[in-house]
Structure 1
């Protein structure tokens, strides 16, 4: 009986296991905090990104998940390229999109923006918690969803390194 209870309890714990989750505190090129981006795996297998940013320049901006968790360079190029896997950039090309591609973020005159995005090709453990980490990057212009390798969306104007909550 003890073994059955132990197996049942282990199964209960496995079902209630917390999905992988990361959060990035996003800063602009001056080092000011702009808000957070949270990405979590869901029970369906599709990752969910929740973006909540303030004090942004109005307009349409490309946003992506980048392959290296490093925002130390003044131009944020230390974050590397998009999390690409074996995919091409953009939804407008065959073989796309990258797992780190997201839709453009439209920022109103208030400078505040919130967005939730499904990322079906992304796995938090595999893509964001690998040895060199990952970063969220916002660009000065809109992503055209097809130019290779990154959508021709302009300079990097904000960046945040992902970390596990409490980590």
Structure 2
């Protein structure tokens, strides 16, 4: 993770220390985990939006609309995760190269069949859930209830979405 950011005090030019009750070491570990959650979320957003644009077949309308709801939710989640990283005093990753290094979600080349898109999105939502879950120990160790709450909310969304997508595959 990049260096901890510091806000300059306008008149003195000195850094303002972050004193939110979480040690710097714990904040760094939490921010590192959240950076992976952010990268996975962005990667899944991009994949879902791509599938929305390119889905075809008898379930076109259903999947096109479902994918739109899902990529919109993912897009909105990006800010919450990035702003939590910033609240902890670290810069949020925001480039394709950073996301590529941090994500656990593989890109999909070409245009898969509609039900393969659904399978790939199930795997993507499960991957984000695993990444979020892996960040909990650092948040708990640091007593970071705000991050734990954010992770809980993200887990609920990803687990529910994976379940709904899996239901289409029966």
TM-score normalised by length of structure 1: 0.24
TM-score normalised by length of structure 2: 0.23
Bigger fraction of residues in strand: 1
Bigger fraction of residues in helix: 2
